[in-house]
Chains A and B, each alone.
Chain A
């Protein structure tokens, strides 16, 4: 039964490839993590830099936008700031739930140019968790960040963008449990 053997092998291979399709999801994340592609930024990092490393000035631009029909108002307190590499900075972001219903939001960060993403360290960020706001409520939360002195010399400005997503439905269950 040679035919049966090859059929079984091929069926196994097919299921393997179906699994591989799903394995691409974590592989993609790992690949982006390692290479810093795609402007993806990593989780909170605790970093301090030796003051002796020569620092330089970098311009940081803050961009906020809302996904789809997300009705909240979402702003940074200043559109841009000049920073020295290797030092801690704070920038305030204000969220306002302009609707008459409680909602949950998630801000997703992205750094541009993508090459600079791995040098943009956020030590504290609201983007690591969801924001729950009652109707009409407003909140101001700072982002704490350090620009790595290793930032390639040809990058003189970075943009930190946040897109605000409405995740009320996705996290409704979680909220109920808490």
Chain B
């Protein structure tokens, strides 16, 4: 971390304090961004270890290593940690680091709130993980925590789970308010909304999604809390409530939530593809409108997660068609990326490899999504490994690959050092092969009827599952290599230039400051004229 300390700062720029209090009291967007990123990397290994337990149990049919009860806890916490502890904080980390630098602002608009929104996160996950050591064990009702499984039938630790979800939600909401306020008020003169970098645009829309749906999630867990402790009957049929209501409220949050985890990835991938194609992005404004329409559509498709709950035919049709509509703006984005690469002077550094893999593999996840959107077909796919394959394709080679790509892309700017390109490529190919080995066969066993969230399976699924487990172990090891590459870059990397990537200087303010980026940047706003491709 010492690499981000500005060693030759001016006198009027006071540098960071030393020791732990620097991190505890910091209001610097770069420090906070780094903390978010390290936090999510740590959580990636914790959530990843849980995935390894799951795959070890499923390596062979029959009960192998853990009890079914513990398996349920693994499945639940793997999901919760990866969604709320890895993907979301990592994107917030990138937002903290890059949004002020990309819009030419000295810091975030609300720096103290920024500090608070980070520091309550370790508290939230400390509470969640502490439930493993309590009587009754950790939450075991799946990351979607459907009532009454999560209310009447839940372990007593569910109250801790609810409290921790409240804190995670508060953190996201504060972070989002900060991001929107920063983007609205602190852009460099001349940077109109339609001249903002796409990563800023994608986060601008994501932040609105977050403040629209995180409070609804907070409402849902509050209702659970009241059902459990205050004798209300929101989800208890016996008292006049309805368990299906829980699913509606949850997915009203849940579907925008899955776009919260992918929209910033669209922004990141757009930047990387234009840099390594040495061309401005194709169809900038259509990209913006596509992100906005995906975000708006996300509010009217939620019930496609619950086609089998017993909806009338009109409901099934509405949610089926509205879901399929999302393929249109998404297709616009994919073809824009392809058109950007078309006739570009392509080079294939590690960030570009991850970005191209993102485009290809995210599209596979999108296509299986369209298959799932077909209501009558979904009755077959529902709750099978096909669904697991689908959302892992959009979240692992989708969201996670974009995060890895972004880390390789911007780490020279953060640390002032280049990562090891050879090792980066090894990391990419190991990840690429193992991610497909892990998740592609899940489509086959899912279509053949293997149910999800069950610690055992029928004999005919054994071969594919063993292959999946081998892929998963390999993918886990590949990410340890990533940690090594990051550490090697920080402590032993070659000096990076200011521009880092050829021609990047013309594409964004972040490439005009020194490498490593000084502790304070853009105390006076930069001029839009310094960017050639700002049209």
Contacts and interface: CB of A to CB of B under 8 A. Distances in A.
Given A37-B311, A169-B231, A108 B237 contact: yes
Given A21-B218, A22-B219, A38-B310, A2 B152 contact: no
Interface in A1-56: 2-3, 6-7, 10-11, 13-18, 20-22, 24-25, 28-29, 35, 37-40
Contacts of B312: 35, 37, 114-115
Contacts of B173: 14
Interface string B164-200: 0000000001001100110011100000000000000
A170 B177 contact: no
A170 B229 CA distance: 11
Interface string B303-326: 000000011100100000000000
Interface in B136-181: 152, 173, 176-177, 180-181
Interface in B94-142: 109-110
A148 interface: no
B248 A28 contact: yes
A41 to B, nearest CB: 13
A10 B181 contact: yes
A52 to B, nearest CB: 31
Contact of B181 (A6, A14, A21, A29): A6
Given A10-B180, A21-B220, A114-B312, A28 B242 contact: yes
The size bracket of the interface on B is 35 or more
A177 interface: no
Contacts of A38: 242, 244, 310
Contacts of B213: 17
A71 B77 CA distance: 34
B216 interface: yes
Contact of A166 (B181, B238, B249): B238
A75 B219 CA distance: 38
B214 to A, nearest CB: 8
Nearest to B219: A21
B252 interface: yes
A4 to B, nearest CB: 9
A115 B242 CA distance: 18
12 contacts: A3-B181, A6-B180, A7-B110, A10-B181, A17-B216, A20-B219, A21-B249, A68-B152, A108-B238, A165-B239, A167-B238, A170-B239
Rank and list the top 5 A-B pairs by shortest CB-CB distance, nearest first: A21-B219, A165-B238, A18-B215, A17-B215, A21-B216
Interface of A: 2-3, 6-7, 10-11, 13-18, 20-22, 24-25, 28-29, 35, 37-40, 67-68, 106, 108, 114-115, 163, 165-167, 169-170
